[in-house]
Amino acid sequence: VKVAGKGHHRFYQPELFEVIRQRRDIEQNLVAALEEDQFTVYYQPRVDALTGEMCSMEALVRWIHPQQGMVPPLEFIPVAESSGLIAQLGARVIDMVCQQLAQWKSLGLELLPVSINVSAHQFGRGDVDRVLAVALARYGIEGRWIEVEITESAMMGDQNDALGQLAAIRSQGVRLLVDDFGTGYSSLSQLQKFAMDGLKIDRAFTLELGKSKQGEVFIRAILSMAHALGMSVVAEGVETVQQLEILRALQCNEVQGYLISRPVPAEQMLELMRKRFLI
């Protein structure tokens, strides 16, 4: 919301009320949505940059509102975070992913790791390790089929014992990825302390590839440091063949983005898993 001068105040105030009202509406709707189970999970493949073989996928929650249809996560995740509902929603997502893995397993498919987004408030509660353990046990899935994506800022939050939390998650065989890397303030050496397995370079940097030399310089620097520290690197938001070619030349490990596939429902992911090579 724009900070307005005195003269503009009355023009902006109704807008502010509108925003507050919308948030309250979403919050009330979210409570009902959790009770009525209006959430589902879409999956987006991550592929080996060189071979194009799918190596894992990201789970992305979708809210299918009975009247409004699909509500984008960017509209309700922040509300779920600030209202505390994210704990319940996050647990639901973890459960749905483990259930899905069990279903694919029962179909005789070779499983691929699924990464799950864990947001700051969710992580700050300090019980993600237990939520994961419960879901894994419930569906008989091994921890190595799950990866957790967490942003730098969520890790750096001082309200939580991040190191202890991450270790507890990792002790179950779950891998840890830094999400949206480059948008926060952490250094790679700090991240090494957290024993992260890999990082996902934010889409903003992929977007610069081919446009400016800086984008390439930044990604090159990250890759060389990450690789020296034994971390694997995923580039997010790959939309063009040119971006893919540059990332290949830079020896980026994995790519994810609309060029390969949009996030798709589980049934469609099944087809992609059978196809395996996506570029």
Q: Which stretch binds Ca ion (CB under 5 A): 12-20, 38-46, 213-221, 231-239?
A: 231-239
Q: Which of 263, 269, 272, 273 forms a contact with ligand C2E (CB under 6 A)?
A: 263
Q: Which of 26, 33, 54, 60 forms a contact with ligand C2E (CB under 6 A)?
A: 60
Does 184 bind ligand C2E (CB under 6 A)? Our answer is: no
The nearer residue to ligand C2E, 117 or 186, going by C-beta atoms, is 117
Write the DSSP assignment of the chain as a string of letters.
Answer: -----GGGHHHHHHHHHHHHHHHHHHHHHHHHHHHHT-EEEEEEEEEETTT-BEEEEEEEEEEEETTTEEEPHHHHHHHHHHHTTHHHHHHHHHHHHHHHHHHHHHTTPPP--EEEE--HHHHHTT-HHHHHHHHHHHHT--GGGEEEEEEHHHHH-TTS-HHHHHHHHHTTT-EEEEEEETSS---HHHHHHTT--EEEE-HHHHHHTTT-HHHHHHHHHHHHHHHHTT-EEEE----SHHHHHHHHHTT-SEE-STTT---EEHHHHHHHHHH-B--
The nearer residue to ligand C2E, 4 or 83, going by C-beta atoms, is 83
Structural contact between residues 174 and 132, judged by C-beta atoms closer than 8 angstroms: yes
Q: Which stretch binds Ca ion (CB under 5 A): 35-43, 68-76, 179-187, 242-250?
A: 179-187
Does 56 bind ligand C2E (CB under 6 A)? Our answer is: no
The nearer residue to ligand C2E, 11 or 258, going by C-beta atoms, is 258
Q: Which of 67, 72, 267, 271 forms a contact with ligand C2E (CB under 6 A)?
A: 72
Q: Which of 81, 129, 147, 149 forms a contact with Ca ion (CB under 5 A)?
A: 149
Q: Which stretch binds ligand C2E (CB under 6 A): 132-140, 225-233, 245-253, 255-263?
A: 255-263
Tell me, by CB under 6 A, how many residues bind ligand C2E: 22
Q: How far is the CB of 62 from Ca ion (least distance, A)?
A: 14
Structural contact between residues 165 and 126, judged by C-beta atoms closer than 8 angstroms: yes
CA distances, 15 to each of 1, 28, 272 (Å): 8, 20, 44
Q: Among all residues, whose Cβ is closest to ligand C2E?
A: 257
Does 81 bind Ca ion (CB under 5 A)? Our answer is: no
Q: How far is the CB of 37 from ligand C2E (least distance, A)?
A: 15
Does 180 bind ligand C2E (CB under 6 A)? Our answer is: yes
Does 257 bind ligand C2E (CB under 6 A)? Our answer is: yes
d(CA 191, CA 229): 10
What residues line the site for Ca ion (CB under 5 A)? 117, 149, 179-180, 236
What residues line the site for ligand C2E (CB under 6 A)? 44, 60-61, 72-74, 77, 90, 93, 117-119, 122, 179-180, 203, 237-239, 257-258, 263
